[in-house]
């Protein structure tokens, strides 16, 4: 299959001089809102011709562009290689077959998986590949024997640029009765025996995995619906709909992923977890795979684990200088517990891994207990939790203490037993890092006490607690000054008129670099609560969260909102981002019109 260029379609069209950057930005925004493709929006808006999009796609995929209105192009095809009915059905022209048995096709949509796959079976060849790209209207005109291709219509566009694997039943050129019968027979055969090694399915899975990695996605979501299968990527913490996969391909796609992940492809009744290791764009990437039974079939999520994300350095996490200095002092203490809190996906593991990477020297012994082990570190002893054989967090912790470590990392404190062992380790001369699921830093104290840990042990063992969230950072290429910021949102994040006058607020615009979102990348906002005598006394006396928070702020803790406000005034992010992700009393994200 032709290798796709890293350049986006919009970038290529700009380089061709067909459209300008503002036109592409507006089209990307509309495409995101309407769930259409960029080329479709540009053609419907009159900014591009069908041939322009076909030329750009040919450049993107590194293949030849063919103008079928030119008589000399006839010599490039061998229409005897594939039945004429199939050519018309899938709007594909056969070009040649080489000595290896590879059939080269002229297509209108290089992202079409189903069409070439069906042609491969009909022509009985080893493999099919893209030989050229031509406008669909010209291909259909060529096959119908018209002298010149008809003018391209909006209806044709919706069929040509929306991936053919999305919903080929919408193609009016196909007989509906034949579709229904073939779909039923194909569905029943898939239920009985889904073939994960089918070449079309293999190409589809490989393609969306590669695309997700290149587009900086953190997760790939494959979610079966009643009529189709939804494919989504999570980019910078936000789920983006990518495509719809035909329902009849559901079992094959899921089986292919499960086979790659090393789990039982025939088991669909219980959740399963696996891992995939694959080279994408020259880098070895790990994928953590989770399959969970749902109403319309198994929902599968691939978490993309990039080795470099855990080694970005403490400075790259988003710390302000004072918090970074305090953080460095705390993690280098000889004993005690350091907790990082926040919801799932707030970057807790990345923060702790970055700390361990900084502390990983030959004079320190570091042992971790994780479920699962996400990143492998040289020089660190990492243990995978396996509850099925009794290798629980508590069992690993007890064994760790006999290994004489300097630093212990416990993936998560989930119950009293693990908390008690971690505290005993801290009180006997070990530095313990762990995570806890609470909304903010002061809540960690009350959470441990609610678990049943004695208050005096909590007060004496904990050195510090850090709460964090991840917020999107504005794209450096397109962010622009905000002329009229929303005063309501400014009040929510505590920005005064004086602070606003002394700084320049920035807003997202959207460009080809950030995919039209206006944001690129994420950074953390923190609240670092260092234990002092007042907080320890409050913990010992089982005081409430409000008193603990007030004491922490008196002790120098800057709240999540305050830390986020610094990033807003510096032009790194927006007030709506901070208000959406930081805990604000009496506020719901729906109150922000721009969220």
495-506 pLDDT tens trace: 888 888 888 889
In a domain, 2, yes or no: no
Q: Determine, yes or no, domain membership for 190.
A: no
- Do 445 and 511 belong to one domain? no
Residue 531 and residue 392 in one domain: yes
223 bridge partner residues: 230
Co-location of 15 and 128 in the same domain: yes
C-alpha–C-alpha distance, residues 171 and 198, integer Å? 24
Cis bond leading into 485, ω under 30°?
no
Q: Which CATH number covers residue 204? A: 3.30.450.90
Measured in Å, how far apart are the chain's first and last C-alpha atoms? Answer: 40
Which residue(s) pair with 54 in the sheet? none
Q: What is the pLDDT of residue 99?
A: 79
185 inside domain: no
Question: pLDDT of the chain along its 595 residues, tens only?
Answer: 555 666 788 888 988 888 888 888 888 888 877 777 888 889 888 888 888 999 999 888 888 999 887 777 777 888 888 888 888 888 889 998 887 888 999 998 888 777 888 888 888 887 888 889 999 888 888 887 653 333 333 333 333 322 333 333 333 333 333 333 334 333 433 343 456 555 678 888 988 998 899 888 999 999 999 999 999 999 998 898 888 888 988 999 999 999 999 998 888 889 999 999 888 877 888 899 999 999 999 999 999 988 777 666 788 888 999 999 999 999 999 999 999 999 888 889 889 999 998 999 999 999 999 888 877 888 899 998 888 788 888 899 889 888 999 999 998 998 999 999 999 999 999 999 999 999 899 999 999 999 999 999 999 999 999 999 999 999 999 999 988 888 888 888 888 888 888 888 899 998 888 878 899 999 999 999 999 999 999 999 999 999 999 999 999 999 999 999 999 999 999 998 998 877 544 444 444 444 3
Contact in structure between 522 and 473 (CB atoms under 8 Å): yes
Answer yes or no: pTM beyond 0.75: no
**Is position 179 within any domain?**
no
Structure tokens at 337: 């517990």
Domain range for 281 is 196-305
* Cβ burial 256-268 (10 Å sphere, 16+ → b, else e): bbbbbbebebeee
The CA distances from residue 545 to 428, 439, 447, 460, in Å, are 28, 11, 10, 18
16 and 119 belong to one structural domain: yes
Say whether both 362 and 382 belong to one domain: yes
């Amino acid at each position: 299959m032709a290798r796709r260029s890293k350049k986006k379609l919009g970038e290529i069209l700009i380089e061709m001089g067909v459209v300008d950057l503002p036109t592409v930005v507006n089209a990307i925004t509309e495409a995101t809102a309407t769930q259409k493709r960029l080329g479709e929006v540009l053609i419907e808006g009159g900014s591009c011709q069908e041939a322009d999009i076909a030329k750009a796609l040919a450049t993107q995929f590194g293949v030849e562009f063919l103008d079928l209105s030119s008589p000399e192009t006839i010599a490039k095809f061998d229409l005897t290689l594939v039945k004429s009915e199939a050519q018309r059905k899938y709007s594909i022209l056969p070009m040649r077959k080489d000595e290896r048995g590879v059939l080269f096709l002229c297509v209108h949509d290089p992202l079409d998986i189903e069409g070439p796959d069906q042609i491969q079976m009909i022509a009985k060849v080893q493999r099919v590949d893209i030989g050229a790209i031509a406008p669909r209207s010209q291909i259909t005109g060529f096959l119908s024997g018209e002298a010149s291709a008809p003018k391209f219509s909006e209806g044709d566009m919706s069929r040509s640029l929306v991936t053919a694997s999305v919903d080929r039943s919408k193609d009016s050129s196909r007989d509906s009765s034949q579709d229904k019968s073939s779909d039923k027979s194909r569905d029943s055969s898939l239920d009985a025996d889904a073939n994960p090694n089918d070449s079309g399915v293999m190409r589809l899975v490989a393609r969306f995995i590669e695309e997700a990695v290149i587009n900086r996605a953190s997760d790939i979501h494959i979610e079966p619906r009643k009529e189709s299968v939804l494919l989504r990527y999570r980019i910078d913490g936000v789920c983006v709909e990518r495509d719809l996969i035909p329902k009849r391909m559901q079992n094959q796609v899921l089986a292919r992923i499960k086979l790659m992940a090393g789990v039982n492809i025939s088991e669909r009744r219980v959740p399963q977890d696996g891992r995939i290791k694959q080279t994408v764009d020259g880098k070895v990437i790990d994928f953590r795979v989770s399959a969970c039974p749902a109403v319309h079939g198994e929902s599968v999520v691939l978490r993309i684990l990039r080795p470099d994300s855990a080694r970005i350095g403490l400075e790259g996490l988003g710390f302000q200088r004072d918090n970074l200095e305090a953080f460095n002092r705390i993690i280098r203490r000889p004993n005690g517990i350091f907790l990082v809190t926040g919801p799932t996906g707030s970057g807790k593991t990345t923060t702790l891994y970055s700390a361990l990477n900084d502390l990983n020297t030959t004079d320190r012994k570091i042992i971790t207990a994780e479920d699962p082990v996400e990143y492998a570190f040289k020089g660190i002893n990492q243990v995978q939790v396996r509850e099925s054989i009794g290798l629980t967090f508590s069992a690993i912790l007890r064994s760790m203490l006999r290994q004489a470590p300097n630093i212990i990392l416990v993936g998560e404190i989930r119950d009293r037993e693990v908390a008690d062992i971690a505290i005993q380790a801290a009180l006997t001369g070990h530095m313990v890092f762990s995570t806890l699921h609470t909304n903010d830093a002061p809540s960690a104290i009350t959470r441990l006490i609610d678990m049943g840990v004695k208050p005096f042990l909590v007060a004496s063992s904990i050195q510090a607690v850090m709460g964090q969230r991840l917020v999107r950072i504005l794209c450096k290429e397109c962010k622009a000054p905000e002329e009229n910021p929303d005063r309501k949102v400014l009040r929510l994040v505590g920005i005064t008129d004086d602070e606003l006058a002394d700084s320049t607020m920035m807003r997202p615009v959207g460009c080809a670099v950030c995919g039209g979102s206006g944001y690129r990348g994420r950074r953390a906002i923190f609240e670092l609560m260092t234990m002092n005598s007042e907080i320890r006394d409050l913990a010992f006396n089982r005081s409430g969260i409000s008193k603990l928070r007030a004491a922490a702020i008196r002790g120098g803790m800057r709240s999540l909102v305050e830390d986020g406000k610094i990033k807003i005034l510096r032009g790194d992010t927006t007030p709506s981002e901070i208000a959406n992700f930081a805990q604000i009393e009496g506020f719901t994200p729906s109150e922000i019109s721009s969220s």
